[in-house]
Structure 1
Amino acid sequence: MAKIRVGELDVHVQRMAAAGPPASDPPPLVVLVHGLLIDSLASYYFSLGPFFAERGMDVLMYDLRGHGRTGRPAAGYRLEDFVSDLDGLLDALEEDRPAHVVGNSFGGAIAYGLAASRPDRVRSVIAIESEPPVKSWAEKMAEGLTGEEGGLVVREVRAWLAEDPERNARPFQLAGRLLDGTTLGQDIPRSRVLGDTLADIRCPVFALYGADSKLSGQAGHLSATLPHCRTVILPDQGHSVLVERTKETADLILDWLQDDIHTPVKAG
């Protein structure tokens, strides 16, 4: 465990060095970015992190601002703040390898955001149950985080807890503090967004969805819009792809990474 100073923020970081034979020379860098509110790097520490390290890749995981063991400032939660944190973290670690950025849910929006603002820093985007941060994304985030009784996301979390009161409520208590004690709910819908043509996304993209998720309908649009994009839809699966289909997710991403690692990077 380590904390790295990034601007005014202490960022909690976990790294796993390539444990098996390096997948390339130097080993590929895989950055794992978790989701919003009830998530932290722990969701990767016990799943994809060891999986990729054992297959010869250097893995970087970190807690987003306001989450886990990273600092929780009162304000500064627009998407561009999260993107700047990741960019600054890679600077602080003196990391100059273009990264394969894996983002789950909101983490995928951060991955797309970094690819758009720092194309030199991103080798590929792997988006799990996520969508590019365009205008419609901001509108959905507003619906989920603000409004009556806190928004759709908050109401769904409360209903999920009510179904089984024995569930570990701590992540939801922490999420409540984040929503009540910061400007996150107001900031995210006001984030700077990408154009609908996604012209700023020039790296390869792999997008993975559950067939029963509301997000799966965008797979065709991504494939048609992005020049180097692969989409996979898992049948009989909702939003919780990473948790409920961990092994399948890991294998699919590994196949993608192995193909991309051995594809020469085009100049310009």
Structure 2
Amino acid sequence: MYQVLRPSISSWVPLRGCQYHVRQWGTPAASATPLVLAHGWMDVAASYQFMLDAFSEAFVQQRPIIAFDWRGYGLTEAPATDSYWFPDYLADLDALLDTLYPGQTIDLVGHSMGGNVVMMYAGARPERIRRLVNIEGFGMPATRPSQAPGRMGQWLDELKATRQGDKDLKTYASADGVAARLMKTNPRLSQDKADWLAQHWAQPDAKGQWHILGDAAHKVINPYLYHAEETLATYSRIGCPVLAVEATDDSLGLWWKGKYTLDEYHERLKSVPQVQIARIENAGHMLQHDQPEQLAQMLENFLSS
């Protein structure tokens, strides 16, 4: 199994009705700029461990570094809900920063869904962010008002399916099964890393069945349409330098199959006042697993400049 070089220390913070699980690394000076890492959809804070191990010792020791599990993921509590709302992630992040780093400017990194959250947060709270890194947080395809009735109907249908247990997450007989699932989803993931991640991505129940640490309600579609023009208006208010990191595999194109393209995403990024785009070779959507050394060096250079 993968041997961790920099173990994290776990703590729990009460936020907006949930006990939030937070991982922290390093022993930095109190005056240093904190680095906050936000994970993606159906992922956990531990997903950043390989990148943390790839950081230089000087970088880790000069600042606080934390990663947290979003509500309903990992070791953070799931609220009593049958669907999740995107604005809650921004509110949770705001409350977390007010609790841990009140009045302090931070560096913020988000992957995938977490990348979408941090971009919107930086536009809503531009004074809180010194530098921002968005890793494959592409946003969603533009929508039309005529799609609204169908979207609302789909949401109602999925809530019904959740009540009937039709959207429950698959369970696994062992951690090996979880690791195999991770490697099937990401063929670049090595066996040792998959074995380690499986221990943090899932847990066994009293009967020995392994359950993914993600609330099935996360799979329910949002009933409200994504408005690209609102996103662009928010992007335009980001006051810090932004590094947009993407993989050479073009996971956006693979996922949306022509409904939304990398060129459209790049066009949206023009609304960000200070942005640079960087690519990591031989990597897919899970950059922090595929090429943690390249990603760590990229972040060090950007955050230290």
Same fold (TM over 0.5): yes
Aligned to 1:213, which of 250, 255, 258?
250
Give CA deviations for 1:10-29 in whole Å, capped at 9, x if unaligned.
0011222445xx6xx82121
Show structure 2 runs of 5+ residues with no match. 1-9, 163-168, 171-177, 186-190, 203-209, 253-261
Paired residue secondary structure (1:35): coil
Aligned to 1:47, which of 47, 51, 58?
51
Tell me how far 1:221 sits from its aligned partner. 2.0
Paired residue secondary structure (1:3): strand
Letter in 1 for 2:246: Y
Cα 1:126–1:49 shift into 2, 3 Å: farther
Tell me how far 1:212 sits from its aligned partner. 1.6
Matched with 1:265 is: none
Paired residue secondary structure (2:277): strand
Matched with 1:28 is: 33
Matched with 2:131 is: 124
Cα 1:163–1:5 shift into 2, 3 Å: closer
Letter in 2 for 1:178: D
Q: Is the 2:107–2:129 contact (alpha carbons within 8 Å) kept by the matching residues of 1?
A: yes
Give CA deviations for 1:204-254 in whole Å, capped at 9, x if unaligned.
210111122233445632553322101012233321211101000010111
Tell me how far 1:44 sits from its aligned partner. 1.8
Q: Is the 1:78–1:189 contact (alpha carbons within 8 Å) kept by the matching residues of 2?
A: no
Aligned to 1:83, which of 79, 90, 96?
90
Matched with 2:302 is: 256
| Structure 1 Cα separation of the partners of residues 52 and 265 of structure 2 | 23
Is it true that 1:12 corresponds to 2:21 in the alignment?
A: yes
Letter in 1 for 2:232: D
Give CA deviations for 1:20-54 in whole Å, capped at 9, x if unaligned.
xx6xx8212110011111x1111123433772774
| Structure 1 Cα separation of the partners of residues 127 and 141 of structure 2 | 21
Cα 1:28–1:8 shift into 2, 3 Å: same
Task: Give the alignment's TM-score, normalised by structure 1.
Answer: 0.73
Show structure 1 runs of 5+ residues with no match. 260-268
Matched with 2:80 is: 74
Tell me how far 1:202 sits from its aligned partner. 2.8
Matched with 2:12 is: 3
Matched with 1:266 is: none
Is it true that 1:190 corresponds to 2:236 in the alignment?
A: no
Tell me how far 1:129 sits from its aligned partner. 1.4
Letter in 1 for 2:77: G
| Structure 1 Cα separation of the partners of residues 136 and 222 of structure 2 | 18
Count of matched residue positions in the alignment of Structure 1 and Structure 2:
239
Which structure would you say has the larger Rg? 2
Tell me how far 1:87 sits from its aligned partner. 0.6
Task: Give the alignment's TM-score, normalised by structure 2.
Answer: 0.65
Superposed CA RMSD in Å reads: 3.8
